Amino acid sequence: MGMTIAEKIIAAAAGVESVKPGDIHTVTLDRMMSNDGTTHLTIDMYHQQLDHPAIADSKKLVFIVDHNVPADNPKTAATHKKMRDFAREHQIDFWEGKGVCHQIMMEHYVRPGELIFGADSHTCTYGALGAFGTGVGCTDFLYGMVTGTSWLLVPETVKFNLTGKLRKGVYPRDLMLHIIGQIGANGVNYQVMEFSGEGAKTLSVNDRMVLCNLAVEAGAKSAIFEADEIALSWLKDHGRQPKQVFTSDEDAHYICEYTFNLDDIQPVVARPDFVDDVIPAAQACGTKIDEAFVGSCNNGRIDELRVAARLLKGRQVADTVRFLIVPASNDVYLQALEEGLMETFMEAGAIVMNANCSVCWGSCQGVIGENEVLISTGTRNFKGRAGHPSSKVYLASAATVTASAIKGFIATEDQL
Binding site for another protein (CB under 8 A): 24, 36-38, 40-41, 44-45, 49-52, 67-68, 75-76, 78-79, 118-121, 123, 135-140, 142-143, 146-147, 151, 153, 185-186, 189-190, 216, 219, 221, 274, 361-363, 367, 380, 382-385, 389
Nearest approach, Cβ of residue 126 and another protein (Å): 14
Mapping DSSP to helix (H, G, I), strand (E, B) and coil, where does residue 30 land?
coil
Alpha helices, H only, 120-186: 138-147, 172-183
Nearest approach, Cβ of residue 112 and another protein (Å): 23
Q: Beta strands of 56-141 (E only): which ranges?
A: 61-65, 93-96, 115-118, 132-135
Nearest approach, Cβ of residue 219 and another protein (Å): 6
Cα 82 from Cα 61, distance rounded (Å): 16
Cα 213 from Cα 179, distance rounded (Å): 13
- Cβ-based nearer residue to another protein, 124 or 399: 124
Length of the chain: 416
Nearest approach, Cβ of residue 246 and another protein (Å): 22
Nearest approach, Cβ of residue 387 and another protein (Å): 9
- Cβ-based nearer residue to another protein, 78 or 255: 78
Cα 57 from Cα 212, distance rounded (Å): 28
- Cβ-based nearer residue to another protein, 151 or 244: 151
Nearest approach, Cβ of residue 399 and another protein (Å): 26
- Please indicate if the annotation marks 360 as binding a ligand: yes
**Which among 357, 329, 341 is positioned nearest to 238, based on CA atoms?**
329
User: What is the C-alpha R_g of the chain?
Assistant: 21
- Cβ-based nearer residue to another protein, 75 or 88: 75
- Cβ-based nearer residue to another protein, 4 or 402: 4
Q: Beta strands of 88-243 (E only): which ranges?
A: 93-96, 115-118, 132-135, 149-153, 157-163, 192-196, 222-225
* 208 neighbors 111 (Cβ within 8 angstroms): no
- List phi, psi (to 5°) of 223: -145, 150
- Cβ-based nearer residue to another protein, 41 or 312: 41
Which residue positions form the known binding site?
297, 357, 360
Which residue positions form the known binding site for [4Fe-4S] cluster?
297, 357, 360
